[in-house]
Amino acid sequence: MEIFKTIAALQNHLQNQNSRKPVGLVPTMGALHNGHLSLIKTAKAQAATVVCSIFVNPTQFTDAGDLEKYPRPVETDIQKLEQAGCHILFMPEVTEMYPQKEHWHLDIGEIENRLEGEFRPGHYQGVMQIVYKLFVAVKPDLAFFGQKDFQQIRVIEKMVELKNLPIKLVTCPIIREADGLAMSSRNIYLNDAERKHALILSWALLQLKKSFVKEASEKLRQEAIEMITVEPQVKLEYLEIVNMDDLNRDISNPEKGIIALVAAKVGQTRLIDNMILS
């Protein structure tokens, strides 16, 4: 696996690999787990050259303390990527991606302000800012994202559309632990008791999926909320049932699909999850 820390070196290498198209990009913030590695596996099946980026992006954090404590097990991440057969790791410093102060704002409409956007204002502007920079640097043909960050995928799709980028986005399924907990880099913050309490999120979503009837969606949503709120150390931020297109609560159009998304703090750790209902 080749490792690059500058855009110039990365682009020079990729330009000399013209025969190895298409190029697939897996953007990450590191602290890799099997969910990330499943993206690498899918990328290898669809792309001749797989680039994984590791960059803890400061502009998408709304809490400076959260940015500071975000896990950065670099050597372990490199070993995992090598074992997964990743071809290229792009691991820039902050000064490489943000050499000077810049203003970024892209109007993508109401989807930015719903759900995660309500609790983390400005977060998706930071996400779009860095993903656009990575797209410009790597010029991938395909980019791979996990379903766990479902709203993020819709936001990036909107950015790709508005920026007219020739990139195909590929959504990969959520990878879960054996007990159902969605894999996340933040799971390492959970102590044993908190981890057990965190299982209520996936359990409530699963029960919602099993019993889901569109006509009774609000009643079922409230039942799922009650399941979560009685669990110790779990503070629910939202559980919403929305259409899969623009994440609006209008689920009347069956062609758009229906998804339930949840976010909660378990102890001091914020977790998100989702499940497709229809």
Average pLDDT, the chain: 96
Query: What is the pLDDT averaged over residues 215-242?
Result: 97
List helix spans (H) across 16-122: 34-46, 64-69, 74-84, 94-97, 116-119
Which residues, including other chains, have CB under 8 Å from residue 168's CB and lie 6 or more apart? 141, 142, 143
- Residue 247 is which amino acid? L
pLDDT of 36 reads 98
The Cα 92–Cα 111 span in angstroms is 30
Active-site entry in 36, 87, 123, 197: 36
Query: What is the pLDDT averaged over residues 121-148?
Result: 98
pLDDT at residue 18 tops 80: no
pLDDT of 20 reads 87
pTM: 0.96
Residue 87 annotated as catalytic: no
Identify the structural domains of the chain with CATH numbers, from first to last: 2-172 (3.40.50.620), 185-273 (3.30.1300.10)
Query: What is the pLDDT averaged over residues 23-31?
Result: 98
**Measured between alpha carbons, how far is residue 269 from residues 20, 98, 185, 198, 272 in Å?**
41, 28, 11, 10, 10
At 19, list the tokens: 């025969």
pLDDT of 123 reads 96
pLDDT of 62 reads 87
Task: Please state the φ and ψ torsions of residue 114, each to the nearest 5 degrees.
Answer: -85, 160
Return the number of other C-beta atoms located less than 10 Å from residue 27's C-beta. 23
**Measured between alpha carbons, how far is residue 26 from residues 15, 40, 161 in Å?**
19, 7, 19
pLDDT of 19 reads 60
